């Protein structure tokens, strides 16, 4: 037997609890590599946040009749946990409590549960059945769907779910990470919540109702097998990264007052597959780019194609999530404004050339990307302190013109040393890496 501590595991992989315990604290067994079996003692009323997270060998859990609450992400990433029986004493289940418990196939919600956090079963890939006690006055189940708000909101679904008539909303994370191939959302539904179908890699077909008004952020993100989606005419907006990386064969943007969130269509389909409804008066499409009707503003795109349109304004998040994969970006000389997070994402970018026409640069325009080389042909008049903060910039080049010292500080904010060679300065980047700046001698404005 291993040496006992306040919370430990014996040689058989069973959890050891101190006598008289009434609460299991946050992260009590977090990332325990030996834990296989848990029998929570009678008298325990609460399980803390992340109490058993990443216990990847955990197979069996028995909860006591005294238990009242299960904390946020309490059993996150317990890969081998296939069955969890929630006692009737439980009143509250935390946000993402059983997140990524891939082996759980069914769940029963007893009568006294009155609070369930968002995404409590998110990523439970093989979840097949959801039922609720008929005596529960807050939640109900119909067609293997967990419903709340008097049956008007679908809180959580599973692979066998058939969304019932009468719902107004598919809730946040409702089907996120669940193995489903096809879903028909009933008429009357108006809202699809945040990441409601995000990371449903097997989803191939979706039927949207004519009543639909809002598709919120990341609603269908990474549904990479989804070949087609017909946006109803009444849809008012598609949120940030809502269809990111869906790789549809084609899609048509509706008319009316339709708006597009940052990165909503990044890698959603091929440029030639993106179409616009004839009654859309706000946008036009040019080579996979979504532009204002007059062509002056770039709102978004499905992929980077060169040359870019001759626009004046690149809106906030226009290229958010677009996979550059080390490719270069050359902005046209017509661009005057680059919005917040315009090129945000994670994949690397090769060379970025910003023309002298640019006068205003927003916050963190590259997000978490790394840049091989940033070429500035001029100094923008309005630059924020964090405009060029990102994962890392290998090289910054100024081909000509006077360079104010304050502008150099805006790029790095920490000049660490000056080399003997007068045309180079080494500065410390946002991640601690050294960046080389090159420019002609005599172009630094004191």
Predicted local confidence at residue 408, as pLDDT = 67
Radius of gyration of the chain (CA): 26
- Residues contacting residue 16 through CB under 8 Å, at least 6 positions apart: 4, 7, 8, 9, 10
Token pair listed for 129:
């059945």
Encode pLDDT of 203-219 as tens digits. Answer: 999 999 999 999 999 99
CB 435 within 8 A of CB 429: yes
Predicted local confidence at residue 428, as pLDDT = 41
> For the purposes of burial, counting CB atoms within 10 Å of the CB of 343, is it exposed (0-12), middle (13-18) or buried (19 or more)?
buried
Burial code of 389-399, b = ≥16 C-beta within 10 A, e = fewer?
bbbbbbebebe
Predicted local confidence at residue 406, as pLDDT = 67
Predicted local confidence at residue 396, as pLDDT = 82
Is the residue at 301 inside a domain? no
Token pair listed for 273:
């597959």
The three-class DSSP label of residue 273 is helix
- Integer Cα distance of 307 and 331 in angstroms: 8
DSSP string for residues in 287-342: TTEEEETTS-EEEEESS--SSPP--SEE-TTTTTT---TT--EE--TT--EE-TTT
CB 408 within 8 A of CB 415: yes
Residues in the chain: 446
Predicted local confidence at residue 147, as pLDDT = 98
| Boundaries of domain holding 396 | 324-446
CA distances for 334 relative to 53, 338, 384, 396, 401, angstroms: 51, 11, 21, 22, 19
Distance of CA 246 to the CA centre of its chain: 14
Burial code of 264-273, b = ≥16 C-beta within 10 A, e = fewer?
bbbbbbeeeb
Predicted local confidence at residue 412, as pLDDT = 58
Q: Half-sphere exposure (CA, 13 Å, Cβ side) for 255?
A: 5
Counted domains in the chain: 1
Residues of the chain scoring pLDDT < 50: 1-4, 413-434, 441-446
Is the residue at 7 inside a domain? no
Predicted local confidence at residue 88, as pLDDT = 98
Is the residue at 232 inside a domain? no
Is the residue at 214 inside a domain? no
């Amino acid at each position: 037997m291993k040496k006992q501590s306040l919370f430990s595991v014996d040689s058989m992989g069973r959890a050891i609890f101190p006598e008289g315990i009434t609460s299991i604290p946050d992260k009590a067994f977090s990332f325990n590599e030996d834990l296989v079996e848990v029998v929570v003692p009678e008298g325990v009323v609460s399980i803390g946040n992340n109490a058993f997270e990443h216990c990847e060998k955990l197979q069996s859990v028995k909860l006591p009749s005294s238990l009242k609450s299960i904390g946020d992400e309490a059993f996150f990433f317990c890969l081998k946990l296939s069955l969890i029986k929630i006692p009737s004493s439980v009143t509250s289940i935390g946000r993402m409590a059983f997140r990524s418990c891939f082996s759980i196939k069914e769940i029963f919600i007893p009568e006294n549960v009155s609070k369930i956090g968002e995404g409590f079963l998110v990523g439970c890939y093989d979840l097949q059945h959801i039922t609720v006690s008929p005596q529960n006055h807050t939640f109900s189940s119909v067609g293997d769907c967990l419903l709340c708000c008097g049956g008007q909101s679908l809180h959580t679904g599973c692979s066998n779910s058939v969304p019932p008539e009468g719902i107004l909303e598919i809730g946040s994370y409702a089907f996120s990470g669940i193995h489903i191939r096809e879903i028909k959302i009933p008429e009357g539904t108006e809202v699809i919540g945040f990441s409601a179908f995000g990371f449903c890699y097997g989803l191939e077909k979706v039927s949207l109702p004519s009543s639909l008004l809002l598709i919120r952020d990341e609603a269908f993100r990474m549904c990479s097998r989804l070949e087609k989606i017909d946006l109803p005419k009444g849809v008012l907006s598609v949120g940030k990264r809502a269809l990111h990386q869906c790789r549809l064969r084609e899609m048509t943007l509706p008319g009316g007052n339709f708006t597009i969130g940052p990165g909503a269509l990044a890698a959603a389909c091929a440029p030639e597959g993106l179409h616009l409804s004839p009654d859309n008066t706000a946008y036009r499409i040019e080579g996979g780019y979504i532009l204002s009707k007059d062509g002056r503003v770039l709102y978004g795109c499905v992929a980077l194609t060169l040359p870019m349109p001759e626009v004046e304004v690149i809106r906030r998040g226009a290229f958010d999530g677009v996979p550059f994969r080390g490719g270069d970006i050359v902005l046209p000389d017509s661009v005057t404004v680059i919005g917040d997070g315009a090129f945000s994402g994670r994949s690397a970018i090769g060379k970025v050339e910003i023309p002298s026409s640019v006068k205003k640069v927003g916050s963190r325009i590259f997000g978490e990307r790394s840049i091989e080389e940033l070429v500035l042909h001029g100094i923008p008049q309005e630059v924020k302190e964090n405009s060029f903060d990102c994962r890392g910039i290998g090289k910054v080049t100024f081909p000509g013109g006077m360079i104010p010292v304050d502008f150099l500080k805006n790029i790095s904010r920490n000049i660490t040393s000056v080399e003997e060679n007068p045309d180079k300065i080494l500065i410390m980047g946002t991640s601690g890496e050294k960046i080389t700046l090159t420019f002609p001698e005599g172009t630094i404005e004191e």
